Amino acid sequence: MNTIKVYNNFHSALKNTRLRHIDFVRRLNIFYDNEEIRLFHNILEEGVEKKYFSITNLDMASVAIIMAVKGIEDYILRTENPEIFTTRIDALLKIILHGIVRNHND
């Protein structure tokens, strides 16, 4: 949980609008955004190679998933209760990995 608190503080500093005019913070934001996309692309690529995932456009999938996660990360990180945090992460992973489309085999 301490690691998440440190990340949350670091993330808050990067998102702080008063600091966005500082070129260093802007460049750091761009670097970490690109790094997150690259790392997630690698994860998806390995999953496709091992036949865990079926993705036709890894670049678009990587960007789309990272954008979605960034949109809700403040909500997920806001809690200090480990059980609530775990529940939120589990729900997010289930949606990312299984989607929201009904399985027609049910």
pTM for this prediction: 0.64
What is each CA distance from 32 to 17, 53, 78, in whole angstroms?
Answer: 17, 25, 20
The percent of residues above 70 in pLDDT, for the chain, comes to 75
Is 105 inside a domain boundary? no
Is 104 inside a domain boundary? no
Is 103 inside a domain boundary? no
Which is more confidently placed, 37 or 13? 37
- Structural domain count, the chain: 1
Is 82 inside a domain boundary? yes
Q: Which domain holds residue 79?
A: 2-98
Is 106 inside a domain boundary? no
Which is more confidently placed, 49 or 97? 49
pLDDT in tens, 25-64: 778 888 888 999 999 999 999 999 999 888 999 999 999 9
Reading the block at residue 27, the tokens are 């460049």
| Mean pLDDT for all residues in the chain | 80
Hunting for tokens 């678009």 — which residue is that? 60
Is 39 inside a domain boundary? yes
